[in-house]
Amino acid sequence: MKELALLEIIAINIKKIRITQNISQEELAFRCNVSKNYLSDIERGTRNITVHIIEKIIKGLNISINELFAV
């Protein structure tokens, strides 16, 4: 089984949590003050994100940092 890179783990968890919370990409992007396209890139793992954006996403999803990095 392939070991996931940290960026992939974050991307998978953001999408999984967002869907579980029944939040659209558009709504989460609004909460995080980023564009929907930027959020889509993050969820696909094609965008390198900063700690600042990670913080916005954690607040937008109302989760702990542990949930975002869970394997």
Return the structure tokens found at 5. Answer: 């890179």
Instruction: Cite the DSSP H helix spans in the chain.
Output: 6-20, 25-32, 36-44, 51-61, 65-69
- Please compute the mean of the pLDDT values over residues 18-38 and round it to a whole number: 98
pTM of this structure:
0.92
Asked if pLDDT for residue 39 goes beyond 90, the answer is yes
| Confidence band of 1 (pLDDT split at 50, 70, 90) | low
pLDDT value, residue 4: 79
